[in-house]
Structure 1
Amino acid sequence: MFTSEINKALKVLKNEQVILYPTDTVWGIGCDATSEVAVNTIFKIKNRSESKSLIILVDGIEMLQKYISKIPNTVIDLLNNTSNPTSIIYNNPVGLAKNVVASDNTVAIRIVQNEFCKQLISAFGKPIVSTSANVSGNSTPKCFKEIDKAILDSVDYIVNLQREEVNDKSSTILKVAENGEIIVIRD
């Protein structure tokens, strides 16, 4: 069903370029989360300081475990039993671009639930960045038609799916403390 769009997006991601795509929350600007060059492009597009971190999307727990070596069982249980988009801030990530990792050596990662995103990430074999499709400081667009022309003009490929849908839900954000405790950042 998504084969054509996945193939077009894959070509862009593999070239360290940037896509605009629908996620399980809002429209996102995305790239290879292991490429500093691609991530830097996103910071430029959003006119955003590199000190502000970005959310990373993975297709499942198996991929998550490649980038986060220590995941408490409580987090795995939570991820297996939630139906809400949930981004979790983890300590000490490995294998990701340095500029997606916050200065305190943490990164926010979400196991994506959107079927297109899941298939795209699975086919790509690596995590992708997901940051809202707006210039830093501006409001987050709730649907495709609210995305600023400057954003549309600055990405390398716009996925041609779900352009009529309105989606204004943000992900829940949790943080895993060093002791394994789960702290709610945004509900």
Structure 2
Amino acid sequence: MHQEIKKTIEVLKQGGIILYPTDTVWGIGCDATNAEAVAKIYKLKKRIETKAMICLVADDRMLKKYVKTVPDAAQSIFDIAEEPITIIYDDAQNLAPNLIAEDKTIAIRIPDDEFCYQICRKLNGAIVSTSANISGAPTPKSFKEISQEIIKGVDYVVNLHHEKKATKPSSIIKLSRDGVVKVIRK
């Protein structure tokens, strides 16, 4: 895994996009602060840029780098969640402008996955994590289900195909600064 981490970091630092296993499904990712790389993902997925994407961060400390104020309820949600959970936060900051939603929110997950954790730590920042499919197509449940268009469209495919991964996207919760919690995707 060490070599895969090293190669992945090289590609991300050069503004490339990757296809990689996450704690949920296979994802397409890039450095979340690189607007050109984010634009490449939108183009590859044929996704409109107003439809925001998820970011992964290594831990709470890194989360605070990208969200002005992390509500106290976020930690409670992390503590009780039994499955991967993505939270949409108000007041996103320090990310590529084309990654932040029009209402200034950002969806972020702290994955329970060693590879994703190491990538975020070694990059010292957030990475994009969007499902490895063309917008509107079904989310692939395994590497074998990923279309050739996606595989050929990325700059690097992380060679961890054998790793058993979860097969469904994370739940998504919107956590507003005023304490309102709204389930977006179960």
- The SS at the match of 2:74 is helix
C-alpha distance 75-166 of structure 1, shift in aligned 2 (>3 A) = closer
Aligned length: 186
**Could you say what the CA RMSD is over the residues aligned between the two structures, in angstroms?**
1.2
* Aligned residue number for residue 104 of structure 1: 103
TM-score with structure 2 setting the length: 0.96
* Aligned residue number for residue 82 of structure 1: 81
Encode CA deviations 1:130-180: one digit per residue, 9 max, x unaligned: 000111111110000110001100100000113463632210100112312
**Partners of 2:92 and 2:55 in 1: how far apart?**
11
Please list every run of 5 or more consecutive structure 2 residues that lacks an aligned counterpart in the other structure.
none
Does 157-166 or 43-52 show the bigger shift? 157-166
**Partners of 1:79 and 1:167 in 2: how far apart?**
18
* Aligned residue number for residue 128 of structure 1: 127
* Aligned residue number for residue 22 of structure 1: 21
TM-score with structure 1 setting the length: 0.95
Please list every run of 5 or more consecutive structure 1 residues that lacks an aligned counterpart in the other structure.
none
Query: Do 1:133 and 1:140's aligned partners in 2 also have CA atoms closer than 8 Å?
Result: yes
Query: Do 2:32 and 2:127's aligned partners in 1 also have CA atoms closer than 8 Å?
Result: yes
Query: Cα distance, 1:91 vs. partner?
Result: 0.6
Query: Do 1:144 and 1:164's aligned partners in 2 also have CA atoms closer than 8 Å?
Result: no
**Partners of 1:115 and 1:25 in 2: how far apart?**
13
Query: Do 2:24 and 2:165's aligned partners in 1 also have CA atoms closer than 8 Å?
Result: no
Does 87-96 or 161-170 show the bigger shift? 161-170
Query: Do 1:29 and 1:129's aligned partners in 2 also have CA atoms closer than 8 Å?
Result: yes
Letter in 2 for 1:17: G
Query: Do 2:175 and 2:181's aligned partners in 1 also have CA atoms closer than 8 Å?
Result: yes
Question: After superposition, where does 1:1-187 map in structure 2 within 5 Å?
Answer: 2-163=1-162, 165=164, 167-187=166-186
- The SS at the match of 1:33 is coil
Does 78-87 or 44-53 show the bigger shift? 78-87
Query: Do 1:143 and 1:163's aligned partners in 2 also have CA atoms closer than 8 Å?
Result: no
**Partners of 1:66 and 1:15 in 2: how far apart?**
22
Letter in 2 for 1:112: P
Runs of 4+, deviation exceeding 6 Å: none
